[in-house]
Amino acid sequence: MPSASEPQDVSREQIIWQVVCSIPVGHVASYSQVAELAGFKGLARFVGRTMGQLPEGSDVPWHRVLKQDGRIAFPPESNRFYYQSRLLTEEGVPVKNGRVSMSRFRWQP
DNA sequence: AAGTTGACAGTTA
DNA sequence: ATAACTGCCAACT
């Protein structure tokens, strides 16, 4: 029996991370896309908030999740912005001006 | 209980 | 293309 103070949406986070883990290398998805695939259509912000709770050493490819227009969600010039940009580039997804071409690299399940 | 926040998105100007 | 504004909803104060 889980303690009452434990967040009860652990399964929701699991579902979201599972969807993110299914994004193939070399492809990306938007927050809203992840939300919809996870069965939480319209909850893009919730997906973003959930991503923020990922531990640093996680296997979840969080860097493959971008805004709908292909921009990185972090503030430009920030450390995380550059980090995500680097991870994507190393995977073969070019990032120009903090942005990925969704028409080319958007994951289509 | 009420107000604020946010790794978002869509519409309008 | 950019910016302002609105809608959204769970988590947090």
In a domain, A4, yes or no: no
CATH number assigned to the domain comprising residue A46: 1.10.10.10
At A80-90, the pLDDT tens digits run 999 999 999 99
How far apart, in Å, are the Cα atoms of A44 and each of A18, A31, A86, A92? 15, 5, 24, 25
Nucleotides of B under 7 A from a protein CB: 6-10
Range of the domain at A70: 10-99
How far apart, in Å, are the Cα atoms of A25 and each of A15, A19, A20, A31, A62? 19, 13, 11, 17, 12
In a domain, A109, yes or no: no
Distance A91 CA to B5 C1' (A): 33
pLDDT-based confidence at A6, cuts 50/70/90?
Answer: very low
* Domain count within chain A: 1
In a domain, A78, yes or no: yes
In a domain, A30, yes or no: yes
At A33-79, the pLDDT tens digits run 999 999 999 999 999 999 999 998 899 999 999 999 999 999 998 99
In a domain, A106, yes or no: no
In a domain, A85, yes or no: yes
In a domain, A64, yes or no: yes
Distance A92 CA to C8 C1' (A): 34
